[in-house]
Amino acid sequence: MTWLVGAGLHPRAGGTTLAVARDLAARMDHRLGFVLYDLEGTASRCGVSTATVKRHVRVLRELGALAWQRHGSKRNLRLPGRAYTATATIYAATIPAAYDAAMGHRLDGTGYGARLLGVTDEGRMLAVRASPHPVGNRRPGAVRPAPRAPHSLGSHHDVPPADLDGGINYTPRANRSTRRVRKGTGPSLRSPWQVARDIGIARQVRPLVSWTQREGLRRLGFALRPLIDRGLAAHDIAAELVGMALDRRPARPAAYITAALARDRRAQAAPRPDEELTADPAAHREWQRWLHSRPAETSGRTDDDRRHARLYAWDRWPEVAAHYGDDPDDALDLYGTRLCAYAVKQAARAA
């Protein structure tokens, strides 16, 4: 920061900017490079106003020395035992490209994930000139410093690639390190076109379901992945979501959808106690005879008819319940299991 301010890269950078930077550096987690904003505390420790701290933090961002890791919010988190708790802003310390170019640094990677690999010849000469005690010129009688810890293992620009000498660069599957996948969320890797497709479907579903309209498209698309992977269209997914929250409005729609789908998977996977004693209805003669003698009036029904009925028939549950009482199989085919169950439940309550 002293070099950045002294180089005159920003017209508003000065002594107050360095004071704010020193306060942030004193509170920073240097292992991760993160620091809490703490606007009021920074202003009090630096002896300036909060508006001044805001201006000089902006100067640090424009210099490339700070980046937002998380934007804070004044929305109350409603933590137990606290009347009011907001979300803190977290900054990440960064090194601008102008400093690396001036110091002759060689980098591996780009952006915040770039790491220092070495220096150029010009950078090495700058480091030697800046050192007050060059290597090998220790003052007589000076105490030898404690030995330093060895450097971390990593790639280096002067190290050639390993020569396998005819060997096979193969790692057995049992020893191969794999990323941990959260149970019930599917594979962690998804191609960019699949993610774009998920967001596109979420963009179609969100206007159809009122309680999902406060959720972002990326989170909603991620929560809808199990339904998308089942091959459901946007209207079918909207019908499923309408049945998930009939009498409630979840505060976090994406988390609610994920929990509801996980609950349904557990319910389907749980074995029933009478599962072994249940006969297969398809093997019954009377069932087969009824299937063959079933009227052909439902043969003209299309998938669009089913989507429309499952999406817009929730307010007409008495009609759905009456249809289910007359012909359960036809009602299930038209309205789906969730809507039929809701209609029968409402009819039972009304009775």
Tell me the C-alpha distance between 117 and 237, whole Å.
Answer: 50
Q: How confident is the model at residue 142 (pLDDT cuts 50, 70, 90)?
A: low
CATH, residue 85 = 1.10.10.10
pLDDT in tens, 49-66: 999 999 999 999 898 889
- pLDDT interval class at 183 (50, 70, 90): very low
pLDDT at 157 over 50: no
Q: What is the pLDDT of residues 287-340, one digit of tens each?
A: 667 666 665 554 568 888 888 888 888 888 888 888 888 888 888 888 888 888
Which of 268, 295, 324 is a domain's end point? Answer: 268
**Residue where one domain finishes, among candidates 50, 74, 94:** 94
User: Which residues constitute the domain of residue 6?
Assistant: 2-94
pLDDT confidence of residue 90: 87
Whether 132 maps to a domain, the answer reads: no
- What are the b/e assignments for 264-297, b being 16+ CB within 10 Å? eeeeeeeeeeeeeeeeeeeeeeeeeeeeeeeeee
Q: Which residue type occupies 6? A: G
Question: CA 208, 211, 215, 220: dihedral to nearest 10 degrees?
Answer: -60
**SS3 state at 36:** strand
Mean pLDDT is highest, among 1-10, 38-47, 98-107, 277-286, for 38-47
Q: Does 309 fall in a domain?
A: no
Domain-embedded: residue 22: yes
Which residues contact residue 222 at a Cβ distance below 8 angstroms, ignoring those fewer than 6 apart?
198, 254
Ramachandran class of 33: left when φ > 0, alpha when ψ lies in -120 to 50, beta otherwise: left
